Chains A and B, each alone.
Chain A
Amino acid sequence: MTKFSAESLPIVNRILKQYPEGKQKSALLPLLHIAQAENNGWLSAETMDYIASLLEIQPIEVYEVASFYSMFNLQPVGNCVIEVCQTGPCWLNGAEELLAYFTERLGIKAGETTADGKFTLKTVECLAACGNAPVIQVGTDYFENVNKQKAEELLDKWQKENKISHTNPYL
């Protein structure tokens, strides 16, 4: 990604107007979300430098922020990033078994990407949908009450359609 797509630019411009004059740095998180989506799901240094120039801030200010928040990936990821919640309530309802299923089926551990670049498996902390545990997130979608059978169906589907999870979350 060298700059925002024509599709995203109106959204970016709308976001930039949400803050008082001189406080455009506030747009950093929303813009990073869009930038990540348009850079194959991760934030390269060039991408972050572009955001810095757009907001007229130092690149390090972007790096500091991007590296703080767990939703931003500073390394390349697969087309479809599967995030499995592992905190207490999900654990009580079988998150460990679910993660084991994903690990086995995809042949990768949490934090890894399949050799074909299709899937990245991530563990995440509480997604705040504990009533329907276990929960996984793919892109902006939540999948709740995910048992092994449901996981299998989802994986089959994503496998088949070459699921891409990083789409502009505002669209």
Chain B
Amino acid sequence: MAKKILLDNIDVPGLASFEVYKQLGGYSAVEKALKNLTPDQVTGEVTKSGLRGRGGAGFPTGMKWGFIDKKSGNPRYFVCNFDESEPGTFKDRHIGQLNPHLLIEGMILGSYALGARTSYIYIRGELFYVLKIIEKAIAEAYKNGLLGNNILGTGYSLDLYCQPGGGAYICGEETALLESLEGKRGNPRIKPPFPAVVGLYGCPTVVNNVETIATIPWIINNGYEAYSSIGIGNSKGTKLISACGHINKPGVYEIELGLPIEEFIYSDEYCGGIRNGNKLKAVVAGGSSVPILPAELILRTATGEPRLMSYESLSEGGFQSGSMLGSGGFIVMDHTTCIVKNLLTFARFYHHESCGQCSPCREGTGWMEKILHRIESGNGSMKDIDLLVNISKHIEGNTICPLGDAAAWPVASAIRHFRAEFEEHVKLQKCPF
């Protein structure tokens, strides 16, 4: 059995309630940290654990905390990014819905480490039912002296609130999230300055993903060494992988980083193989934004090594033959799948979600969708395929925020690995599937 850090008790009935969570040892990390550790020691544990941001970028969490401006004298904020919207990703909902106190405990620890007195959990508006579960848990935490004034008699005080979004993928970008939390349009800010210096209400702020935050209690309880002994290379600890598509057992799995992808797809412990005994065609391994890989390259790297679930292994070969671990949204496609049509749904998504602030993304995402629609419906030309590559190149790296890259990479990679399928659409003047 693989090590479980986040989903250890996930099947325990009533886990969302304070009593059950407490009985299972919950809030012991808060007790330990607030009573025995300084904020800097908490940050130190997280830094040394090697934990990396689980929202998709994989940035070292402790380092991000280290950037926070403590000199300005302004209030500091700790914000949880629960705007889970990356297609293929549904792991944060799993935590928020079933184990809200774990998230709250992580929020208290992070807030304490950063010196925040008010913290927010920003959750996508569609997940209002999860917001209500979290708000109920927050109320329980207040009642039991874990939030509010003078927590556990330690002198540390914290208010925690849950804020709904309004339906906008872009608010998963941390500065767009902060704008949204300020009651504005979700337009990403131009950086620098970064949130660690100028964040929420112009004050130093750290934004972390749900899964990242939910990992902190375990690190505090068990020590950084225990955490960094799990995993492989610079991919420490465990990762939630949300698996979907054409597999027998879609769902949220906690894996130890370094697990062979072949095992993840075919073992009964995880995805249980491809549905109907079909053949694996392609995988988008880290949420819709990351490059798609054909079966042979997802199972093995270009050099023939087994591909592992880790930041390093998934990106091995660069974009030429590799991809990214991303958010852990694992989308599996069998041989009946039309790659062009799947890509069209992604392109439509990014077009729909572009905030419209900067011109390459605003204009380019819609353009790519139109061309893909044309190709998929049998009205495309060979020139269109190169044009798509061209547009994606001109969006990539040229936008205010990473949504541009996220829209460009799927297009570029699908054509890189499945060009023949695009050409077939053009030649047949229809979709061959």
Whether A and B touch directly in their complex, counting CB atoms under 8 A apart, is answered as yes
- Chain B's closest residue to A24 (CB) is B183
Interface residues of A in 6-37 (CB under 8 A from B): 18, 20, 23, 25-30, 32-33
- Report the separation of the CA atoms of residues A67 and B410 in the bound assembly, to the nearest whole angstrom: 28
> B183–A25 contact, CB under 8 A?
yes
Q: Is residue A132 contacting chain B, with contact meaning CB distance below 8 A?
A: yes
Task: Tell me which of A68-76, A101-109, A113-121, A149-157 binds B.
Answer: A68-76
Q: Is the CB of B337 within 8 A of A92?
A: yes
CB within 8 Å for A65 and B184 given contacts A20-B75, A89-B245, A131-B242: yes
Residue of B118, B126, B169, B243 contacting most chain A CB atoms (<10 Å): B126
Please give the number of chain B residues whose Cβ is less than 8 angstroms from any Cβ of chain A in the complex.
59
Q: Is the C-beta of B246 less than 8 angstroms from some C-beta in chain A?
A: yes
Complex Cα gap A144–B120 (Å): 28
Neighbouring B residues of A126 by C-beta, 8 Å: 85-87, 169, 288, 349
- Give, as a whole number of angstroms, the nearest-CB distance from B128 to chain A: 4
Interface centre among A91, A125, A126, A142 (most CB of B within 10 A): A126
Across-interface contacts of B181 in A (CB, < 8 A): 26
The distance from the CB of B339 to the nearest CB of chain A, in whole angstroms, is: 11
Contacts of A40 in B (CB 8 A): none
CA distance A142 to B243 in the complex (A): 19
- Find the B residue at minimum CB distance from A83: B126
Residue-wise interface mask of B (236-258) relative to A, using a CB-CB cutoff of 8 A (1 in contact, 0 not) = 00000011111000111000000
A111 is an interface residue with CB less than 8 A from chain B: no
Q: Does A5 make an interface contact (CB < 8 A)?
A: no
Contact count A vs B, C-beta below 8 Å: 154
- Over the window 178-200 of chain B, the binary record of Cβ atoms lying under 8 Å from chain A Cβ atoms (1 yes, 0 no) is 00111111100000000000000
User: Given A88-B346, A128-B85, A128-B89: A23 and B165 within 8 A (CB)?
Assistant: no
Cα distance A32–B349 in the bound complex, in angstroms: 24
Select one of B159, B242, B252, B333 contacting A92, CB under 8 A: B333
Partner of A130, one of B185, B186, B244: B244
Residue interface bits A118-148, CB-to-B below 8 A is 1, else 0: 0000001111111111000100111000000
- Kindly name the residue among A18, A61, A64, A141 whose own CB sees the greatest number of chain B CB atoms within 10 A: A18
Residues of A within 8 A of B88 (CB): 88-89, 130
- In the bound complex, residues from chain B placing their C-beta under 8 Å from that of A47 are none
A27-B183, A126-B86, A170-B132 as given contacts; A87 in contact with B345, CB under 8 Å: yes
Which A-B residue pairs are the 4 nearest by beta carbons? A69-B166, A71-B167, A28-B183, A70-B167
Point out residues on B near A: beta carbons under 8 Å: 75, 84-90, 92-93, 118, 124-129, 131-132, 159, 161, 163-169, 180-186, 201, 242-246, 250-252, 284, 288, 329, 331, 333, 337, 341-342, 345-346, 348-349, 352-353, 355
List chain A positions with a Cβ less than 8 A from chain B.
18, 20, 23, 25-30, 32-33, 55, 57, 61, 64-65, 68-72, 86-89, 91-93, 124-133, 137, 140-142, 169-170
